[in-house]
Amino acid sequence: MGLFDGLPVPKDKEYLRDDLENVDESWTVARFDSLPHVVHILTSKDRDGEIQALKDQSDIVEEVVDEVVQTYHGGFNRAIQNYSQILRLFSESTQSVGKLKVDLGNAKKVISARNKQLHQLWYRSMTLRHVISLLDQIENIAQVPARINKLIDENQLYAAVQVHVQSARMLEREGLQSVGALQDVRSELAKLRGVLFHKVLEALHAHLYNTGEYSSATPSMNEKDDAIPTTTIAAFLMNNSQSLSRRTRLQKGDSHVGASGFASSVDGGSSYDGHDDDDIHDAADNTGKDGKNIPRLPTWLSESTPDEFVETMRKSESPLHVKYLQTMVECLSMLDKVAAAGAIICQRLRPTIHEIITSKIKSQAEYVNSSRPGLGHSARTSTTDLQYVKGQLQKEKHKNGTSLAGSLMTVSPVTPVMAPMGAAQTAAKELIDSVLDTIARIFDNHVVVGELIESKSYQQSHMNATKSVREISVSPDSEASQATGGYTIGFCMTVLQSECQQLICEILRATPEAASADAAVQTARLASKTPSKEKSEDGLTFAFRFTDATVSSQGADLIRQGRNRKGQNVQEGYGSASVLPEQGIYLAASVYRPVVQFTDKLALMLPQKYSQLGNDGLLAFLENFVKDHFLPTMFVDYRKGVQQAISSPAAFRPRANPVTAYTPSVSKGRPVLQGLLTIDFLAKEVLGWAQAMPKFAGDLVMHVQTFLERTYERCRASYTEAVLEKQSYMLIGRHDVDNLMRRDPASAFLPTSLAHANADSHTADAENDGVELEISGLLMKLRPIKQESLIRDNNKLILLASLSDSLEYIADSIERFGNTSAKASDQPEYDVKPTPVRHKRSGSVATKDLKSFAEEYRKLAIDCLKVLRVEMQLETVFNMQVMATREYLEDQDAEEPDDYIVSLITQITRRDEIIAPFIAPTKRNYVFGGISAVASHASIKALAEMKHINLFGVQQICRNTIALEQALSAIPSIDSDVVRTRLDHVRTYYELLNMPVEALLAFIAELDSLFTAIQYYNLLKVQVPGREVPEDAKARMADILPI
């Protein structure tokens, strides 16, 4: 920015600004020195030019100065004129002030002469003004009772209390105390105080139990239970429930608002009319701006005078019903009725809770009866596997005419309705869920009110007491208890859990003796925690009948009278039998989980200083009851059932009239042994109890392991009895035979575990043939096989087949049990809220044991199949061992197979028919699939022991193989292609005897690997009539097949 930029130079003379810029800076310095310029001109060659340049610059500066002067000349003139006017006004003011001083002096002299008369007039005016004010107040107070009644009718209780409190304060003023006309007003206000207290208390009572106009769950919804299913109601209540922890936090911030004063007088309604409406409209307008939700003033405060509490309610984000509870407690505090209200709430708490539970059960019973008499909603909607199996098995009949489902029901200690997922369990869970959810919501309201009442009582006692008062603790002293009328959060929690325990005991049909031992232990523990001389009102004394907490002297009489009046109703019960199909100790399983969730809900609602109250209570009682009574009873009942199931004569007797074809579904007739089916049924029931009570799952799973072990021993004994001293049983016990059977590709048909073990051991066909050849050779070495060493009793074969399938069924069930336990052990017991997990199923060790049991059962099932397979192979060897000792020198063409072949075919066909309904087709393939290989190897092996055979003998043997092939191919589960290949191999071998030696040698040279060298040598060794064998035949064969 240049030095001359600010000069007021006109636009038409902008060249002056440029000329000024050309002036040397030395002419513009603050301290100008002319000597250098004079010396410069004198020493310059062109002195005249330098002087002329200086003149030009001087002209430019003068012209600029002229422009500046012309520009600012008018402003200077106006400034001088203004200064002149100011001086003139100051002079006139000085003269006026002097005259005013003179006038004031004269006035002072005049007033001083009549000072006393003026004072009297002023005092009289003040007195009249005060009298007029008192008359206005008297007129306004006379209208207060009518206004209070109007506000009460409009449900504006807080505004009514405001008017009452302010009017009472006015009546206490010095000027109005002696006014006799106000005595009636005083009496009327005293009566209205009681009316207000009653109205406020009734409104508070209704909203405490969620039956008020602003409750989170209004009674109109519960009154229509006959039109709404209980499950829908439960879901509706859960969806409408507020966040407990958030609600508690919000109410804590609003609970310390005290009763405030009033800004204006009671003046006929001006303080109440118009102001709040404007505020409401303003709030509504603010709500609509930018889409922001600014809290509005609740409707019940619309007629109230603005004060600190009203502003707090306007700004509060608490739920509507919490605001209403806070308002009612504030009203009680303003009326100084906190202690009386607490005493009455204590008095009415137990009867009200009992009535709520009873009415809820009645409404649910009415819905059940109206929909379908005798059956609950759960009985129609819940379908379990156990009940489905029972229903399907009723179609299966025994010889004696009784159904298998009837046998299961007889062995089970519980009826189908009382089963883990039966109608009674579902109905009990729905009932207790609904009741406990209602109780939890009620307790949430009591937490809000309890903290507010304790806070208000503390504030009042702090203001009224002459000495400082200690803060209220979990176990308050007698003064604090008196200030709240005995009403505390601990007292509410005790009574609520007491009624819940009463309901649970009624559902479980628990006797006082069943709960007294647990109660004594808990009472002693709680007593050790609170070693005070007086029993604390927050101490939980859980006997069969909870003991109410001790209350203060102000509310003790009221509560005692209320208990005497309502005690009879409490003892009458809740009528849960009208909702539940059955009652009994086994319903503890359906009650347990809701109680756990209920306890955790209460723990979330409790303030921090009351957190220790959640450690003992209803859950501790129920856990002790389950541990000391339910589990021992259940163990004894199921132990008897298991003993009855496995000791029954029909337990391991195969079904007499099974279905014609095997089916893998029990519901469609899978012939599982009755004993094992019963054990599986009982195990499912016990594990159903474990799923319902995860904390005790370890004990229940151990109990399942115990009777699974006893059942396994019984199965082992039945298996041993069937195969004792039989050659097949002794063979599978040999190590070499066991290794061969494991290498046998047919082991892929065995149950899952060994199938997986052998999945990677499948070899090439040549090696497979080698395994079969080894097995056949080993069996051939056992000749002669005696009939006594074989299982000739078909009933034992049926038992082995049925036992194998039944054991596999049980093994699969056990694996499912273990998988279910493993999944449940990694998950918390419930996911209602993101709270720390209180109980977790400890099933890792138990799962491992269950898997080991499944392996044991499956191994025994595999042993049964192995015995059956080896038995069929031994039967084949037994029938075909006569082939080696027979001379096949027939004199005519064969028309029928040999007798031993007919006997073998008859045996195989008969055994396939009787075994088919009891094992799966793949298992039948395993059992009968080894016959063709043994028959093929035995037939070829027999040639080595023959001395003579003619062409008709060869045809007879071929006829035998054809008959055997047809019989084995008729078995659907056997691969007919494999059978055909193996027995064609036998026919091909024996048909080589019909060839001349030269042709035979040529065949051997071409197909040297079709048979072994020994088998080819046996073709030359046997004598065939009409066939000439050269002397060098063996030598020529040795050249082709060196041994």
pLDDT tens digit sequence for 806-827: 999 999 888 887 776 655 555 4
The rounded distance, in Å, linking the Cα atoms of 315 and 295 is 6
Higher pLDDT, residue 509 or 230:
509
| pLDDT classification of 77: cutoffs 50, 70, 90 | confident
Kindly tell me if the per-residue pLDDT of 992 is higher than 50: yes
Residue 456 · residue 333 · CB < 8 Å: yes
Q: Between 115-142 and 47-113, two packed helices, what is the crossing angle to 10 degrees? A: 90
Helix and strand element counts for the chain (H, E): 41, 0
Higher pLDDT, residue 654 or 1043:
654
Of 745-754, 784-793, 803-812, 879-888, give the lowest mean pLDDT range. Answer: 745-754
Average pLDDT over residues 39-62: 83
C-alpha dihedral over 296, 302, 308, 313, to 10 degrees? Answer: -40
| CA nearest neighbour of 624 among 703, 523, 519 | 519
Q: Over pLDDT 70: what percentage of the chain?
A: 72
Kindly tell me if the per-residue pLDDT of 861 is higher than 90: yes
| Count of C-beta atoms within a 10 Å radius of residue 415 | 15
Average pLDDT over residues 89-111: 87
CA distances from 547 to 522, 523, 613, 700 (A): 13, 10, 16, 34
Higher pLDDT, residue 305 or 617:
305
Q: SS3 for 991-1013, per residue?
A: HHHHCCHHHHHHHHHHCCCCCCH
Higher pLDDT, residue 529 or 79:
79
| Torsion over CA: 336, 338, 344, 348 (sign) | positive
Amino acid at 1031: E
The rounded distance, in Å, linking the Cα atoms of 964 and 906 is 10
Q: What is the CA radius of gyration of the chain?
A: 54
The three-point CA angle 334-338-340 to 5° equals 125
DSSP secondary structure letter of residue 110: H
Q: Is 401 helix (H, G, I), strand (E, B) or coil?
A: coil
The two tokens of residue 289 are 């701006």
Q: What is the pLDDT of residue 61?
A: 81
Higher pLDDT, residue 815 or 238:
815
Kindly tell me if the per-residue pLDDT of 638 is higher than 50: yes
| pLDDT classification of 261: cutoffs 50, 70, 90 | very low
Q: Over pLDDT 90: what percentage of the chain?
A: 17
Kindly tell me if the per-residue pLDDT of 292 is higher than 60: no
The rounded distance, in Å, linking the Cα atoms of 544 and 879 is 77
| pLDDT classification of 902: cutoffs 50, 70, 90 | very high
The rounded distance, in Å, linking the Cα atoms of 430 and 378 is 8
pLDDT tens digit sequence for 676-716: 888 888 888 888 888 888 889 888 888 888 889 999 999 99
Q: Is 1022 helix (H, G, I), strand (E, B) or coil?
A: coil
Q: What is the pLDDT of residue 735?
A: 92
Q: What is the pLDDT of residue 574?
A: 86
Question: Token match 């199949």: residue?
Answer: 865
The rounded distance, in Å, linking the Cα atoms of 746 and 754 is 11
DSSP string, 647-703: HSTTTTPPPSS--SS--S-GGGT----HHHHHHHHHHHHHHHHHHH-GGGHHHHHHH
CA distances from 986 to 74, 800, 887 (A): 144, 32, 18
pLDDT tens digit sequence for 106-117: 888 777 777 777
**What are phi and psi for residue 1029, nearest 5 degrees?**
-110, 110
| pLDDT classification of 858: cutoffs 50, 70, 90 | very high
Of 179-183, 289-293, 572-576, 932-936, give the lowest mean pLDDT range. Answer: 289-293
The rounded distance, in Å, linking the Cα atoms of 142 and 181 is 9
Q: What is the pLDDT of residue 891?
A: 80
| CA nearest neighbour of 300 among 269, 264, 328 | 328
Kindly tell me if the per-residue pLDDT of 260 is higher than 60: no
The rounded distance, in Å, linking the Cα atoms of 671 and 806 is 8
Of 113-122, 866-875, 927-936, give the lowest mean pLDDT range. Answer: 113-122
Question: Token match 């000085």: residue?
Answer: 94
Q: What is the pLDDT of residue 74?
A: 77
Average pLDDT over residues 90-100: 90
- Name every residue whose Cβ is closer than 8 Å to that of residue 773 and which is 6 or more positions away in sequence: 937
The rounded distance, in Å, linking the Cα atoms of 419 and 400 is 27
Residue 558 · residue 344 · CB < 8 Å: yes
The rounded distance, in Å, linking the Cα atoms of 505 and 423 is 19
Kindly tell me if the per-residue pLDDT of 475 is higher than 60: no
- Name every residue whose Cβ is closer than 8 Å to that of residue 356 and which is 6 or more positions away in sequence: 209, 438, 442
DSSP string, 39-94: HHHHH-S-HHHHHHHHHHHHHHHHHHHHHHHHHHHHHHHHHHHHHHHHHHHHHHHH
C-alpha dihedral over 536, 537, 543, 544, to 10 degrees? Answer: 170
| Count of C-beta atoms within a 10 Å radius of residue 955 | 20
| pLDDT classification of 370: cutoffs 50, 70, 90 | confident
- Name every residue whose Cβ is closer than 8 Å to that of residue 940 and which is 6 or more positions away in sequence: 985, 986, 989, 1011, 1015
Kindly tell me if the per-residue pLDDT of 1029 is higher than 60: yes
| Mean residue pLDDT across the chain | 75
Checking 390-397 for CB contacts under 8 A at 24+ apart, the result is 390/416, 392/666, 392/667, 392/668, 393/666, 393/667, 396/655, 396/669, 397/657
Of 131-145, 208-222, 364-378, give the lowest mean pLDDT range. Answer: 364-378
- Name every residue whose Cβ is closer than 8 Å to that of residue 475 and which is 6 or more positions away in sequence: 490, 530, 532, 536, 538, 539
Kindly tell me if the per-residue pLDDT of 259 is higher than 50: no
pTM attached to this predicted model: 0.65
Kindly tell me if the per-residue pLDDT of 222 is higher than 70: no
Kindly tell me if the per-residue pLDDT of 847 is higher than 70: no
The two tokens of residue 713 are 């021993």
Strand partners, 828: 840
| CA nearest neighbour of 556 among 827, 347, 379, 267 | 347
CA distances from 63 to 71, 72, 434, 839, 1001 (A): 12, 15, 104, 103, 147
pLDDT tens digit sequence for 423-467: 888 888 899 999 999 999 999 998 999 888 888 877 766 565 544
- Verify cis geometry, omega within 30 degrees of 0, for the bond prior to 784: yes
Residue 662 · residue 917 · CB < 8 Å: yes
CA distances from 700 to 422, 596, 631 (A): 19, 19, 8
pLDDT tens digit sequence for 546-587: 333 333 333 334 333 333 433 433 446 888 888 888 888 889
Q: Is 718 helix (H, G, I), strand (E, B) or coil?
A: helix
Question: Token match 């298991």: residue?
Answer: 642
The two tokens of residue 663 are 């089916």
The rounded distance, in Å, linking the Cα atoms of 383 and 422 is 8
Average pLDDT over residues 13-34: 72
Query: Within 13 Å, how many C-alpha atoms sit on residue 347's CB side?
Result: 21
DSSP string, 557-586: HHHHHHHHHHHHHHTT---GGGT-S--SGG
Residue length, the chain?
1043
pLDDT tens digit sequence for 382-417: 334 444 344 444 444 443 334 555 556 667 888 888
- Name every residue whose Cβ is closer than 8 Å to that of residue 523 and which is 6 or more positions away in sequence: 541, 542, 543
pLDDT tens digit sequence for 577-617: 888 888 888 898 889 999 999 988 888 888 877 777 665 67
| Count of C-beta atoms within a 10 Å radius of residue 691 | 17
The rounded distance, in Å, linking the Cα atoms of 773 and 780 is 10
DSSP secondary structure letter of residue 840: B
Of 71-80, 234-243, 901-910, 953-962, give the lowest mean pLDDT range. Answer: 234-243
